[in-house]
Chains A and B, each alone.
Chain A
Amino acid sequence: MGALKTLWHRLGSPRWFFEISGPWAIGALILGLIGIAVGLVWGLAIAPPDYLQGNSFRIMYMHVPAAILSESCYILMGLAGAVLLIWRMKLADMVVAAAAPIGAVFCVIALLTGAIWGRPTWGTWWVWDARTTSVLVLLFLYFGVMALRQAVPREESAGRAAAILAVVGTVDIPIIKYSVDWWLTLHQPSTFKLTAAPSMPPEMYLPLLVSVLGFYAFFFGVLLFAVGNEILVREQRTQWVNDLVRSRLR
């Protein structure tokens, strides 16, 4: 308990976080890229083709992790927003700022790969399945947070406004997911999902798991690095940053 409290207090110091996060970021990035590579190659080359969809189902190994990550990223953003609003921890604001563009890119990957997947499977370029629809709404939520942050002139107010929106959005996410799921069963008698995870045989499921874990590690690595950038920018007038810059000059 005492160790957690110390950790909490340390998080209030951007400099400490910067120094700690460096090696963690590199480690997570390496782990992540390896995981992604292994998962993707496994899914592309080793897993058996789907009975109905043939080889196009392999897009799943790129689409599903991107979709899952885009959602987890938003929830993380919402939690960080809550931390910012309740405890005014500056680091939380930086997490919100850094996470938003990463999550939005994952949304776009998920949407584009989902559309490409839909074409050979159902003959259309867009498919309103539960996952792609909720990822689309999620993308709109991301845009809202990023646009609001840009629009508010004062930096501190912008951070708090974006945090409020992120929290409200996070509370809404389960409601959105439930209603989209329900909406789909209403309009399509056969609930088709692009994947039905539990009913997949392990030869198909395991590479997906590896891919998802790899994406998670990659995400954390990039996030830590991006937060480090935020710290540098906000603390650029301090001695320790100036020392860091000078040390890099040599």
Chain B
Amino acid sequence: MTQAVFTRAPSAGRAFAAQLQRDLTIAFRSRSELINPLMFYVMGIAMFPLGVGPGPERLADIAPGVLWVLALLSTLLSLDSLFRRDFDDGTLEQLVLNVDPLFVGVLAKVLAHWLVIGLPLALLSPVAALMLFLPAAAIPTLVLTLLLGTPILSLLGAVGAALTVGLKRGGLLLTLIILPLYVPVLILGAGAVTAAINGVDPAGQLAWLAAILALMLTFTPFAAALALRVGLE
């Protein structure tokens, strides 16, 4: 059998798949790190009954907001891992130098991040919702808003992580930069769940989330790629 010799750089599709595979493999190597953001989510949710009181009515009242805010915070805390490990061991530079166009590699990393953090969060949310006595009728809407919203959080977060990748104590600055950008996602996501509780059709909010996701998918990988180049200058 003849050996295949690559005389051209791999196509964008191949580069995407290769980067995705690499990041997923690395992520699954340390099982404990995979669980951390999810544990934070559940623990954070549990803080609320402890702080506010176990009464089901009040908890159900604040449940949409709390479930979403904690999802926000869990994503924020996990954003550091998006680029920092690769920055520390030099592979980030390799990514920037070799992958062309760069936004393909960035998109692959963001997808890996979402598959490992955002998606499990969305799937775990019914458990958290039960802890806060969210009416069962609203749970599918909750999961749907998280499925639409967490990719947006990962995409916007990637821009922030790229901007702060080389900085010492960049973690806090990252949250400062990203939180205002997260506001619409929070409002729409929690608002959709609240609508579902009240028997109102959340289709409008979900449509808006989908539209924002589409916008961010086309726009943020370029911004993040540019930010990576700036950060590695």
A interface residue numbers (CB < 8 A to B)? 85, 137-138, 140-141, 143-144, 147-148, 151-152, 154, 156-157, 160-161, 164-165, 167-169, 171-172, 175-176, 178-180, 182-183, 186
Beta-carbon contact of A85 and B226 below 8 Å: yes
Query: Given A144-B177, A167-B223, A176-B183, A161 and B170 touching (CB < 8 A)?
Result: no
Q: Is B28 an interface residue (CB 8 A)?
A: no
Out of A85, A151, A182, A186, name the residue touching B164 (CB < 8 Å). Answer: A151
New A-B pairs, 7, CB < 8 Å, besides A165-B159, A169-B180: A141-B180, A141-B181, A147-B176, A148-B163, A156-B233, A164-B223, A175-B184
B residues less than 8 Å from A178 (CB atoms): 184, 208
A-side contacts of B191, CB under 8 Å: 182-183, 186
Cβ-closest 8 pairs across A and B = A179-B184, A140-B180, A144-B177, A179-B187, A183-B187, A175-B184, A160-B230, A141-B180
Shortest CB-to-CB span from A91 to chain B, Å, is 19
Q: How far is the CB of A186 from chain B (nearest CB, A)?
A: 6
Q: Could you list 26 examples of A-B contacts with CB < 8 Å?
A: A85-B226, A137-B180, A140-B179, A140-B180, A143-B176, A147-B173, A147-B177, A154-B233, A157-B230, A164-B159, A164-B163, A164-B226, A164-B230, A165-B159, A165-B163, A165-B177, A171-B219, A172-B180, A172-B181, A175-B184, A176-B180, A180-B184, A182-B187, A183-B191, A186-B191, A186-B194
| Most chain B Cβ neighbours within 10 Å, of A141, A144, A156, A169 | A144
- Least CB distance from B29 to A in Å reads 31
CB neighbors of A among B88-125 (8 A): none
Collect the chain B residues with CB atoms within 8 Å of residue A147's CB.
Answer: 173, 176-177
Residues on the A chain within 8 Å of B223, using CB: 164, 167-168
Name the residue on A nearest B160 (C-beta).
Answer: A165
Separation in Å of the B66 CB from the closest CB of chain A?
Answer: 16
Please, which residue of chain B has its CB at the minimum distance from the CB of A136?
B180
- The answer to whether B180 touches A144, judged by C-beta atoms less than 8 angstroms apart, is yes
Interface of A is mostly: helix
A140-B176, A160-B230 known; A175+B194 contact, CB < 8 A: no
> Do A179 and B183 form a contact, CB below 8 Å, given A147-B176, A186-B194?
yes
Question: Closest CB of chain B to A89's CB: distance in Å?
Answer: 16
B52 located at the interface, meaning its Cβ lies under 8 Å from any Cβ of chain A in the complex: no
Candidate in A169, A178, A182 with the most chain B CB atoms within 10 angstroms: A182
Cβ of B188 within 8 Å of any chain A Cβ, yes or no, is yes
B167 is an interface residue with CB less than 8 A from chain A:
yes
Q: What is the CA–CA distance of A15 and B33 in the complex, to the nearest angstrom?
A: 54
Report whether B167 and A151 are in contact in the complex, using a CB–CB cutoff of 8 Å: yes
- When the two chains form their complex, are residues A161 and B231 in contact, meaning their CB atoms are under 8 A apart? yes
- Does chain A have a CB within 8 A of B212? yes
User: In the bound complex, do residue A152 and residue B180 qualify as a contact, i.e. CB atoms below 8 Å apart?
Assistant: no
Give the distance to chain B from A141, nearest Cβ to Cβ, in Å: 5
> A160 CA to B162 CA in the complex, in Å?
12
Residues on the B chain within 8 Å of A85, using CB: 226
* Interface pair A180/B187, CB less than 8 Å apart: yes
B164 touches A148 (CB 8 A): yes
Is B15 engaged at the interface, CB distance under 8 Å to the other chain? Answer: no
Q: With a CB–CB cut-off of 8 A, which chain A residues contact B178?
A: 144
Chain A residue at minimum C-beta to C-beta distance from B224: A164
Q: How far is the CA of A178 from the CA of B219 in the complex (A)?
A: 19
Contacts of A168 in B (CB 8 A): 156, 159, 181, 220, 223
Give the Cβ gap from B166 to chain A, nearest Cβ, in Å. Answer: 8
B227 at the A interface (CB under 8 A): yes
- List the B side residues contacting A148 at CB < 8 Å: 163-164, 173, 177
A158 → chain B, closest Cβ, in Å?
Answer: 9
B170 CB contacts on chain A under 8 angstroms: 151
Whether the pair A172, B184 counts as a contact (CB closer than 8 A) is yes
Residue of B nearest to A186 (CB): B191
Of residues 147 through 199 on chain B, the ones whose CB sits less than 8 Å from some CB of chain A are 156, 159, 163-164, 166-167, 170, 173, 176-181, 183-184, 187-188, 191, 194-195
The residues of A that contact B227 with a CB separation of less than 8 Å are 161, 164
* Distance to closest chain A CB from B169 (angstroms): 8
Q: Which residues of A contact B173 (CB under 8 A)?
A: 147-148, 151
